[in-house]
Amino acid sequence: MAAPVEIELAAISGRSSTFDIETPELKQENEIVESQRERGQSTDGLHTPIDVLPPVDGGRRAWLFLLGATYMEIIIWGLPFSIGVLHVYWTNTLFQGQGASTITLAATLQTGLLYMACAFFGPVFAAVPRWTKAIQVAGLLIGSSSMIASAFVTKPWHLVMTVGIFYPMSCACYFPCATLLFEWWHTRRGFASGMMYAGTGVGGTIFPFLMQGLLNRFGYKAAMISLGVGYAITGCIALIPINRRIPLSRYDQNGSSRHRARIDWSFAKRKALYLGIMTIGITSLGNFVPSLWLPSYADDLGLHNPDGTALVAILNAATALGNGLLGYLSDRLSLRSTIIISCAGSAAACAFLWGFGKNSGVLVTFAVVFGLLGPSFSAVWSKIIHLVAKDDPAVTALTFSLFAFVRGVGNMSSGPISESLLQFDVLKGGIGAYGFKNYGILLIYTSITILTGGIAGLMFKD
């Protein structure tokens, strides 16, 4: 069982800067704060009175929080979402003819474990919420160190240890950005989530060109070291505004006792939880395939204008716009409508655009359409989490942990599954990409898994 959460529990409504409900304990603490202020005594360790909490859905601190969280999304997820570029370099240059399956494992582990680590850090942050900032900094430094260490690899399995296993510990830095957002944004939560998750697309757009430029000009070792150092410095700056809106409370004057809200485990009985797990899990089996194999596909075709790096960048740039679009739609349409727009559109893009794409024009169109609708699915999470957690902050964190873990399982599974599928040339002689090498069965797998996840999402009631 997860540790109890030391957190103030209250309902947030609309654009109000106050809570709707003031518990007797909170009222008592407010009286203590005012009494100590009148006597000129220190109020350290006690929370700020409720009526001066910063506003939700706007205000300087809410926007600074969103800006900092978006930048963290850019640097933490930018590398994993452009891993296809490094995957090609590792396979064709750094370890040519060596350990292809090990290199693919390292690439898929990085993103998969980054998601799955949320299942570990969710309960950690719940158990020791006062250490949130320290744990975030530690996670940032571990991620930075892993990038620097990957500059010195000499064997493929070294990539598994550095990039594949240690880099995902940067989840400790990212996790509070995603969960504390629920305290700062309420009626415009879909918009805020979409803006934050758009950072993934921005990072995925910048990193391929940045990585390719550093590799070409300075070499692999200098590229990874410079990225790691920049990651640590800029990340520490971005963490400054990542704070709670709802302060943690102590309920006596000397701070020796603490109030701990029990987790309402009734959320585990809600249908929305299991529908969310099913929808996210199934779509994740296919959503990561294009970003992993599109660079290799373009390289096999011999495309140079644009090449695989540019296609991944285009896909990720479209993802940045797509997160904002799907977040906006989730605030205005039903959850089922938003899910089917995302899943049906991205599945059709795989089946028809990539499926018949053997020239740059069609592949660029595919990258744009799939980026808008496929990887952007995470912008819909906030609405699903709301149905499960009912704005309970402890349950919000646990639900996000579960969803991220499931998405990580899907991501990690998609790598080995797709590599195994590429061993079977069952559509030889087919038209378009279906008959090119062994990509046909991979395209069918990707389209079916994403569409099946969308069908599962139709069972939501909202």
Tens of pLDDT, residues 54-104: 888 888 899 999 999 999 999 998 888 777 778 888 888 888 878 788 888
pLDDT of residue 25: 44
Q: How confident is the model at residue 324 (pLDDT cuts 50, 70, 90)?
A: confident
Cβ proximity of 214 and 223 under 8 Å: yes
pLDDT in tens, 389-398: 887 777 888 8
Res 407: pLDDT: 87
Long-range CB contacts for residues 140-144, cutoff 8 Å, separation at least 24: 140/170, 140/172, 140/173, 140/231, 140/232, 140/235, 140/236, 140/239, 141/232, 142/166, 142/169, 142/170, 142/172, 143/76, 143/167, 143/169, 143/170, 143/173, 143/231, 144/228, 144/229, 144/231, 144/232, 144/235
Each domain of the chain, given as residue ranges in start order, spans: 53-246+270-457
Q: Which CATH superfamily is domain 53-246+270-457 in?
A: MFS general substrate transporter like domains (1.20.1250.20)
254, exposed or middle or buried, with CB in 10 Å at 0-12, 13-18, 19+? exposed
β-pair partners for 261:
5
Cα–Cα distance measured from residue 373 to residue 146, given in angstroms and rounded to the nearest whole number: 31
pLDDT digit string (tens) for 417-461?
Answer: 888 888 887 777 778 888 888 899 999 999 999 999 999 988 887
Would you state the pLDDT for residue 226? 92
More confident residue, 165 or 390: 165
pLDDT digits (tens, 9 = 90+) for 138-153: 999 999 999 999 999 8
CA 231/CA 141 separation, integer angstroms:
9
88 is written with which tokens? 């090609």
Average pLDDT, the chain: 81
